[in-house]
Structure 1
Amino acid sequence: MKRLKSYIIMGAAAVLATSCSDFLNTAPYDALSPGTTWKTEEDAQKFVVGCYGGDNDQVPGWEDGSTLLYLDCASDFSYNNFPWEGYTPLGNGTLTASNYGTSFYDFSVIRRCNTFMDNIEAIPFNDPAVKKDLIAQVRVIRAYRYFIMNWYYGGVPIISNYSTADEAKVPRNTEAEVRAFVEKELDESTPDLNKTPSARGRIAQGTALAIRMREALYYGDWATAKDRAQKIISLGQYDLEPNYTNLFNVNGQDSKEVIAAVQYIPNVKPLGTIGQLYNNGDGGWSSIVPTQKLIDAYEMKSGLTKEEAGSGYDTTHPYANRDPRLAFSVLYPGCNYTKDDGSIAIFNTLDKTINGSTNPNYMTAADNSSKTGLTWAKYLEPMNQYTDIWASNACPIMFRYAEVLLTYAEAENELTGPSAAVYQKINLVRNRVNMPNVDQTKYGTKETLRELIRRERGVEFAGEGLRRADLVRWKTTDGKLLAEKVMTGTLERVMGTVNMDKNLDPTLRATINVNASAEDKKIEDRVFKPHYRYLPIPQSDRDKNPKLEQNTGY
């Protein structure tokens, strides 16, 4: 860890030391070639770490843990209460070119990767395989960043290192051109990578294949998505974590299920966003909270949906007899949770007062109380796993093995319809949390199984940043984006009361008032317009580079 720490700091310093204009952090107009002197293999190694990310938020990384935690706020499954944090406009549909919320339009990592590629060939290495592996890692990082921007914006400039700012003012490449570049980079680089990571957080073949798999899945290239999923399975390195909750705890960071995660280290590069997730009464901000729409998505533990006859769903006790992943993923009214001192408390967001005292976690008690009445359990439970929630060592997951299995299932179903292989992959994920096998009679057609796979993917990865992409790639039966259906309307919370008796079943402590007024339940109105499939290029970037054409609708 000490060696990794020095590499991160020195790699970031090497990048920052090359700043020659105010254009450093925004590209393509800022892609000015640095004058860094490259001499040794050690120089190259340090700079590669700089490509992964710096030691603070001012040096963007190839992925950001905070972004992964916030991303579901741009969907129906999570809510961001504070517009200045960047995700409220994406969630409620108020985004414009000047009110775009968070921006994914950033070439700083790509610029670092280009600098590495421009200089690496002249550096002698004792072992040529090490050099090939480093080059491949950087090419994968660069391809990943292009994939992310291409997905959100639908075509961005493919840049070089330029000698002047004016020269760097280049137009957007098409979405197809960027896709072709990304796919070529990933396919060519993968064989040169190590089969296993040289250290936690480093890219190896599994990560490159996972990026290619997800990119193919998102664009409906089912054959490639299935092929890359199978290649990851065939590596034999990954498996499902037996304990689902362990995946999101510090103790589970070396789980065989984790293919790639963003690395954070206390006192070196900590993650402060964890503090923002906790509720008011525990010193947090409730910046990122689950929604009732997520709760409604979980099946009953029998495998029936809550809407099906005979499911046993009780509207006054909606947390009872549900898929175990609900309790593993969400802190719901009435559940037990572990506080920072290790004590067990009852989570109550429904009562204004508890034993005559004001309840700081009541939904409207404060700005930083959860407006949905829910809080994430993923990464938060137990609270005492962190020495400091505002400087944590949580490492949000980018790719995990369950995604490989469900990607294979989705791709194979779209290619050929239901098969033994599809059911087997889904059952592995469901059985891990003691959910029953798929009912092959009920889900025996491509269409019915498609709906199950979508639901399974939604609840399995809730809060992990995949939901928005799924909603804009999936279509309803009339050909519209699924996002138009599920992200339009009034976002609501439930009202009720919590029995604080510790001896009661936690799933039965909360009693929901099904007759609560629409005014009490309302959080906000939301809308999703078809052109929101692509985000607007920030107007500030277009002001600096007039050759950037804006996306339709903005």
Structure 2
Amino acid sequence: MKTYSYILIIAFTTLFWSCSEDFLEVAPKDQLSDATFWQTENDADLALAGAYGTQKLSAFPNFYRWNERSTAWESMWNINFMDLMTDNGFSQYIWDGVKTAGNGQLNPADRNMHNFFKYNRITKYNTFLENIDRVTMDEAKKNRYKAEVRFLRAYDYFKKVMWYGDVPLVTNSIADPRDANLSRDPRSEVVAFILKELGEIASDLPAQNAIESGGHVTRGAALALKARLELYEGMFAEAMVDARAVMDMGVYELYEDGPMAYYEMFLPENEGVNEETILAIEHIQNEFPSVAWQHLLPAQEGGWSSICAAQSIVDAYETLDGKTIDDPTSGYDPDKPFENRDPRLDMTILHAGSSWNGRFFNPISQFLDDAETIPNPDFYNAASASRSGYNVYKYTKPVPTADLRNGDANTIVFRLGEMLLTYAEAAIESNQITGEVYDALDRLRIRAGMPPVDRAVYNSQDKMRELVRRERRVELAFEGLRHYDIKRWDIGQEVLNGPLYGTRGGDVDPNTGEVTLNNDQVVLEERVFIPSRNYLLPIPQAEMDANPNMVQNPGY
């Protein structure tokens, strides 16, 4: 059940949390009146709603980006689009904001990826925490509210250190803007702050899944973010402990309702029974809608195909017997590449021959008739069609045109499946490969319709590392985590250099769905990756110009 009152959120954030366009805006422009606010429990409720924030509507197609038009703690844009900066996907529209970050051409003056550096959310979180104690209310409830906002602040700083490295660590309101020309604090100090905050607040938060919490931060969310960051930092023992605590909390269960469970857990009609979700961005039609369907769906359904999958992610899925496609014993046929594959491939990506909305999906034929008189709107080179020939099926379903930008599907930020993978990887890197590690991976594989891990093949740390990295990629595809994984595994030069490919050309039989491929392969773009530069985003040029104490990231 979606419990936020978004009308109140909109009203509150518009009234109190207005911020300037400056990037490092840490001095609130609107001071809350002592006489009119921070007096009653209702004030605290409104302030908490404002902390979670909302999205400001805009005429632009990317209005749900985490940017100056948004006060929300997180956005579907950051989850759905982030894989387009990686070998998983491709962004065909420059205005979607990730194209130059994906191909290595991003520069400090490019505004598209600079919104992570804004401090408007940090300002409102600090203001909340400095004033909430003035409200007379139940202390346990007040402590929970504080914990929720401290989580939101920690999450914001998590994103900042992931994208920029060293960033100013601001934990108090700054009244005089002249004091806001802050220098960057070491990444290690910001990471330590995040982990300390998450460890301290966990006990003040309830142990609830997303159904029970109604979109509020929970103990599981705090520990899930802590485990994610610990894994990224190579703190494997700590990551095992925190991931295990989430797994053993007793409120989360893998969504395993039938053979299509992996796909169906992302659909709005199953949110009331999906106990796998730890924390999600909650959407309500008309009040707080999602525009994900507009960006994901094929052209024939009125979608823009903004989010294109690349050939590389298609090739990452194992064959149905648990072997990689480069294994000569796997039975993989490159001319029938979608047959006998990990079922998660068909539940994640729309490809040539996919059964979809009463037809066989056909992105490789230019025309729909033999006489070549009826253009195919899904042809990879047609307007609003996926340039790669691969749309993302995950998160989507056929919907009325009116719902394309008015969706009610929640965007999952943390789920139990990630914690199983976190636990497994941390244990593998610690060389503690026990039966519990295999069991964690098997739970996800069996849920998807794959065989358990072959213990005879995956019997060493190196082989298990290879497996868990592949499992993370396919299980968490297009959930916004691949770029972080590439960075921490230091494989950017290997996977983000050179040509990025889409589908091969050919034809799809409209009656049977049989796919015939030729040797022409779509080349989407040439990418350049320089490790000393491209693992971090540039500090925005506007901030460099305004703040004499700011130092640019290397290579920019």
Q: Fold match, TM over 0.5?
A: yes
Q: Tell me which residue corresponds to 1:477.
A: none
Which of 536, 547, 550 is the aligned partner of 2:549? 547
Check conservation: 2:164, 2:538, Cα contact below 8 A: yes
| Counterpart contact for 1:495–1:512, Cα < 8 Å | yes
Change in Cα spacing, 1:224 to 1:99, as seen in structure 2 (3 Å) is same
Q: Which amino acid counterpart does residue 362 of structure 1 have in structure 2?
A: F
**Counterpart contact for 1:337–1:347, Cα < 8 Å:** yes
Secondary structure class of the residue paired with 1:79: strand
Aligned partner of 1:132 among 129, 143, 148: 143
Distance 2:13 2:355 in 1: 42
Q: Which residue of 1 aligns with 2:447?
A: 432
CA contact (8 A) 1:89 1:100 kept: no
Query: How many Å separate the matches in 2 of 1:178 and 1:303?
Result: 41
Instruction: Give, in whole Å, the separation in 1 of the partners of 2:47 and 2:426.
Output: 37
2:289 to 270, 273, 278: 270
Q: Distance in 1 between matches of 2:118 and 2:395?
A: 27
Structure 1 segment 68-147 matched on structure 2, within 5 A: 68-99=79-110, 101-103=112-114, 104-125=116-137, 127-147=138-158
How far the C-alpha of 1:383 sits from its partner, in A, is 1.2
1:224-259 per-position Cα deviation (integer Å, ceiling 9, x unaligned): 111101110121111111111111111122311111
Deviation at 1:305, TM superposition (A): 0.5
Matched with 1:398 is: 413
**1:523-542 correspondence runs (5 A):** 523-530=524-531, 531-542=533-544
Shift in Å, 1:363: 1.1
Q: Please give the TM-score of this superposition, normalised by the length of structure 1.
A: 0.92
CA distance in 2, matches of 1:187, 1:196: 17
**Residue matched to 2:382:** 365
Deviations 1:507-539 (A, max 9, x none): xx22221x32xxx62211011110211111111
Name the aligned partner's letter for residue 54 of structure 1: T
1: CA distance between counterparts of 2:121 and 2:289?
20
1:199 is displaced (CA, Å) by 3.5
The answer for the alignment partner of 1:218 in structure 2 is: 232
User: Which residue does 2:304 correspond to in 1?
Assistant: 285
User: Aligned partners of 1:469, 1:291: CA distance in 2, in Å?
Assistant: 18
Deviation at 1:9, TM superposition (A): 2.2
What is the distance in 2 between the residues matched to 1:100 and 1:10? 28
1:280-429 alignment runs, 5 A limit: 280-338=299-357, 344-355=358-369, 356=372, 357-366=374-383, 368-380=384-396, 382-384=397-399, 388-429=403-444
Which whole-Å CA distance do the structure 2 matches of 1:298 and 1:2 have between them? 38
Please name the residue that 1:27 is paired with: 24
SS of structure 1 residue aligned to 2:32: coil
User: Which letter does structure 1 place at the counterpart of 2:550?
Assistant: L
Distance, in Å, in 1 between the alignment partners of 2:333 and 2:4 is: 55
Q: Deviations over 1:326-360 (max 9, x none)?
A: 0000111111112xxxxx12110101111131111
User: 1:12–1:59: 8 Å Cα contact kept in structure 2?
Assistant: no
Q: Secondary structure of the residue that 1:72 maps to in structure 2?
A: helix
Q: How far apart in 2 are the matches of 1:85 and 1:199?
A: 32
- Matches of 2:174 and 2:156, distance apart in 1: 19
Q: Does 1:231 align with 2:245?
A: yes
Q: Show CA shifts across 1:472-530 (max 9, x none).
A: 111xxxxxx2111011110112333333343x3x5xx22221x32xxx62211011110
Kept in 2: contact 1:29–1:544 (CA 8 A)? no
1:168 & 1:48 partners in 2: Cα distance?
25
Q: Check 1:496–1:47 CA distance in 2 against 1; reply closer, same or farther (3 A cut).
A: same
Q: Is the 8 A contact 1:29 1:545 kept in 2?
A: no
Aligned partners of 1:65, 1:485: CA distance in 2, in Å? 28
Look up the SS of the partner of 2:503 in the other structure.
coil
The one of 246, 268, 280 equivalent to 1:250 is 268
User: Separation in 1 of the partners of 2:27 and 2:85?
Assistant: 29
Whether 2:498 is the aligned partner of 1:489: answer: yes
Mapping 1:156-167, distance limit 5 Å: 156-159=167-170, 160-167=172-179
The equivalent position to 1:442 in structure 2, one of 454, 457, 461, is 457
Is the contact made by 1:225 and 1:407 (CA closer than 8 Å) also made in structure 2?
Answer: yes
Is there any run of 5+ residues in structure 2 with no aligned partner, and where?
57-63
Could you tell me how far apart the structure 2 residues matched to 1:5 and 1:269 are? 7
**1:167 partner SS:** helix
Q: Which residue of 2 aligns with 1:472?
A: 487
Tell me the amino acid that sits aligned with residue 491 of structure 2.
Answer: L
Partner residue, 2:47: 47
Identity %: 34
CA distance in 2, matches of 1:164, 1:40: 28
Instruction: Report what 2:59 is aligned to.
Output: none
Q: Which amino acid aligns with 1:384?
A: V
Matched to 2:109, the amino acid is S
CA distance in 1, matches of 2:194, 2:102: 28
1:58-90, Cα deviation, whole Å (9 max, x unpaired): 232111112111000111001101112110011
Match of residue 10 from structure 1: 11
Check conservation: 2:4, 2:215, Cα contact below 8 A: no
> Is this contact kept in 2: 1:85–1:102, CA < 8 A?
no
Distance in 2 between residues matched to 1:422 and 1:75, nearest whole Å: 27
Q: Which residue of 2 aligns with 1:511?
A: 516
In 1, distance between residues paired with 2:400 and 2:88? Answer: 25
Q: Answer whether contact 2:227 2:238 (CA < 8 A) is retained.
A: yes
* TM-superposition CA deviations, 1:41-70 (whole Å, max 9, x none): 111111111111225352321111121110
Whichever residue aligns with residue 251 of structure 1, its letter is E
* 1:341 match: none
The 3 A distance-change label for structure 1 pair 3 and 258 is closer
For residue 492 of structure 1, give the secondary structure of its aligned residue in structure 2: strand
What is the TM-score with the length of structure 2 in the denominator? 0.92
Q: Deviations over 1:148-170 (max 9, x none)?
A: 10111101111121112111111
Equivalent AA in structure 2 for residue 12 of structure 1: T
Contact 2:55 2:71 in 1 (8 A): no
Q: 272-281 or 27-36, which moves further after superposition?
A: 27-36
Q: Secondary structure at the match of 2:544?
A: helix
Task: Report deviation, 1:417.
Answer: 4.1
Aligned mates of 2:400, 2:87 — CA distance in 1 = 29
Say if 2:41 and 2:135, in contact at 8 Å, map to a contact too.
yes
**How many Å separate the matches in 1 of 2:408 and 2:31?**
32
Structure 1 window deviating more from structure 2 (240-249 vs 445-454): it is 240-249
Larger displacement relative to structure 2 (298-307 or 186-195) = 186-195
Question: Contact 1:333–1:347 at 8 Å: present in 2 too?
Answer: yes
1:217 and 1:432 mapped to 2: Cα distance? 24
Partner of 2:220: 206
Q: Distance in 1 between matches of 2:14 and 2:110?
A: 32
Counterpart of 2:61 in structure 1 is none
2:108 and 2:181 map into 1 onto residues whose CA distance is 19
Instruction: Name the SS for the 1:307 alignment partner.
Output: coil
Q: What is residue 61 of structure 1 aligned with on the other side?
A: 72
Query: How big is each residue's C-alpha offset from its partner over 1:424-465, in whole Å with a ceiling of 9 and x where there is no partner?
Result: 100011000120111111111101100000001100011111
